[in-house]
Structure 1
Amino acid sequence: MINPVVVQHMRSKLEGKHFLKLADFTKAELMDLIRYTIQLKNMQKMGEPHPLLKGKTLAMIFEKSSTRTRVSFETGMYQLGGQALFLNKNDLQIGNGETIADTAKVLSRYVDGIMIRTYEHAIVEELAVNASIPIINGLTDDFHPCQVLADLVTIYEKKESFDDLKLAFVGDGNNMAQSLLMGCAIMGIDCTIASPDNSQVKQEIFSQVLEKAAVSGAKVEQTNDPVEAVANADIIYTDVWASMGWNGDLEERKKGFMKYQVNDALVTGAKDDYVFLHCLPAHREEEVASSIIDGDHSVVFDQAENRLHAQKAILASLL
């Protein structure tokens, strides 16, 4: 059975709080969520029921489509004894002129929490200001905190500690890169992002990352050189070169990113026991060679599975 002391500890700290971006959490809070994730994962593997959210309902608003986010949240609520309502933009009155504030206030009367996957991060923040229930950021153009919690769980499982680790992210300085930098900075993991000049993380967010790194002692930096980034890395991470909603000349973008492909030549600079991560979906032979993502160092499907368990830890803690 689940340890009631751990459950109470998590709820006393996080119940009623929003999950909008990792910068809102301390290292201790994230470590609690990581351990809680692993505990819930072990319970699920052993077939131990844990209906911690019996009678609770989660509204899931999707303005961007997703496989992993929808299935992990919906399945997670079911395993926790609650239920989830899938709402795309056509199911809501937001697209017909109703304000975000009014939507937040109405849904707060019907459900126990809202997960939203949308474009502008300001939408998530406005929901949180006006809702009387927890809001969970399932992805915005700036942040992807649920994914990075699952990533941290995966790293902790594979490396058994966050001490003396270096993570290299190679590719577009997108929402994934920005949340990953923040997660590493908070947890004390050295992190180097290798991106083209016009695709680096936002300066405002990088400044916030540096503030967190100053507390944890992590070394975080940006470079244009993927070889430099990957040197002595314990973890190599990449993502698609053109995120959902990106408009432009895709072929031209591919040409500009080709030197940022994670392939057999690039990973020779990493440590012998490095692990490869990708938040998926992946475009093989673009941002990553098939030999890498399908190779012995890849843990991308363990990582994808951990989305379910990390989502459950967030839900059970906040709701």
Structure 2
Amino acid sequence: MLFNLRNLLNAATLRKSSKQLVQHFRSGQPTQTNVNLKGRDLLTLQNYTAEEIKYLLWTASDLKQRIKDKGEYLPLLQGKSLAMIFEKRSTRTRLSTETGFALLGGHPCFLTTQDIHLGVNESLTDTAWVLSSLTNAVLARVYKQSDLDLLAKEASIPIVNGLSDSYHPIQILADYLTLQEHYGYLKGLTISWIGDGNNVLNSILMSAAKFGMHLRVATPKGFEPDPNIVKVAEEYSKEYSTELFFTTDPLEAASGTNVLVTDTWISMGQEKEKAERMKAFQGYQITMQMGKQAASDWTFLHCLPRKPEEVDDEVFYSPRSLVFQEAENRKWTIMAVMVSLLTDYSPQLQKPTF
């Protein structure tokens, strides 16, 4: 019994250390772009440098042009499998990941709480070890960020955050790709967040300044983002010389902005707070009237699904709305993430302007 226990502990140490070695050495190997993300986790964009995030967007743009526009077949993930753990329902995250991974020749495996109940019918550590031996990567859409952190610690394969209560990094990659396609650049743009201090906003706070983008945030009193995340964002703002502004006045936040962004006011698990939240967010609906405060070239983003109280139909279905292009780009950006974490692929097309 003691011998078996010692072997298990040694195996755990080997898994952890080998993963750390892969991340340490491969992330430093020179490539065409001097960026190599193979073997990395994607838990939050806080862990990625500006150049690494730009590399992901470059790869997404490259794959979109080669596959969609040029009709090339790129089986870059042939023979690889992906475990998709979903504690929360999803349309875009599930379909973009399943179709994208399959389009690249890989095999996605969808797992709900009916199939795998994290930390209940099997410990997170055991789950991480088993999935590491059966698949090449895990995308997990969960409630607790700590579950993702533990999976990443114990697994020897890349773990990707498909959404947690703290962050939604793969959504923000799609947002940035959409803005880069529309404006032709990102540096110097001003983003205005009008809504709840939630996981989507947290991911913008962890990344916008790295592109030289300014951020103006309006949240009702009591619905501000995590102060620890704000502190990190303030440090980024100083480092990259960008503006970071917080207010409770949506019109003030919208002033002079290029991009108006919002999200649901009531996230999954907050249904009991609906009456309180609907009252607190009065005046936060994005309308053309609010758009008059913005720059002349303003556009609108929403990660969907959208409720009319968050943004009216006039804005949502207008030419200023990029929401459906944004939704499609969830596919190309998650494909870029998987290709970057699982292969040595380098983009073939010219690097976009960021």
| Normalised-by-shorter TM-score class | over 0.9
Q: 1:277 aligns with which of 291, 296, 301?
A: 301
The AA in structure 2 aligned to 1:82 is G
Aligned length: 312
2:118 to 64, 75, 94: 94
2:210 pairs with 1:186: yes
Which protein shows a greater Rg? 2
Deviation at residue 94 of structure 1 after TM alignment: 3.1
Distance apart, 1:8 and its partner CA: 5.5
Q: Deviations over 1:255-310 (max 9, x none)?
A: 210211101211110111111000000002x1101100111100100000000000
RMSD after superposition: 1.5
Match of 2:177 in 1: 153
CA change 1:178–1:96 in 2 (3 A) is: closer
Query: Does the CA contact (< 8 Å) of 1:226 and 1:260 recur in 2?
Result: yes
**Alpha-carbon deviations, 1:142-185, whole Å to 9, x = none?**
10000001111111111111222110010101001111122212
Deviation of the 1:125 alpha carbon? 0.4
Which residue of the other structure, out of 210, 220, 223, is the alignment partner of 1:196?
220
Which residue of the other structure, out of 77, 82, 91, is the alignment partner of 2:106? 82
Tell me, what secondary structure is at the counterpart of 2:327?
Answer: helix
Residue 108 of structure 1 aligns with which residue? 132
Residue 139 of structure 1 aligns with which residue? 163
Long gaps (5+) in structure 1:
1-6
Q: Residues of 2 paired with 1:192 and 1:88: CA distance?
A: 37
Tell me the amino acid that sits aligned with residue 188 of structure 2. D
> C-alpha displacement at 1:210, in angstroms?
1.3
Q: 1:38 aligns with which of 53, 61, 84?
A: 61
TM-score by length of 1: 0.95
Distance (Å, rounded) in 2 between the aligned partners of 1:163 and 1:27: 12
Q: Post-superposition shift, 1:95?
A: 5.6
Q: Secondary structure at the match of 1:142?
A: coil
Residue 10 of structure 1 and its aligned partner are, at CA, apart by 6.8
Q: Give, in whole Å, the separation in 2 of the partners of 1:85 and 1:18.
A: 19
Contact 1:61 1:88 in 2 (8 A): yes
Question: What pairs with 1:190-229 in structure 2 (closer than 5 Å)?
Answer: 190-229=214-253
Report the Cα distance in structure 2 between the residues aligned to 1:93 and 1:168, rounded to whole angstroms. Answer: 37
- Which segments of 5 or more consecutive residues in structure 2 lack a partner in the other structure? 1-29, 343-354
1:220 Cα deviation from its structure 2 partner: 1.3
Which has the larger displacement, 205-214 or 307-316? Answer: 205-214
Q: TM-score, normalised by structure 2?
A: 0.85
Structure 1 runs of 4+ with >2 Å offset:
7-12, 93-97
Q: Provide the C-alpha distance between the structure 2 equivalents of 1:12 and 1:186, rounded to a whole number of angstroms.
A: 16
Question: Distance between the aligned counterparts of 2:259 and 2:90, measured in 1?
Answer: 25
Paired residues for 1:123-138 under 5 Å: 123-138=147-162
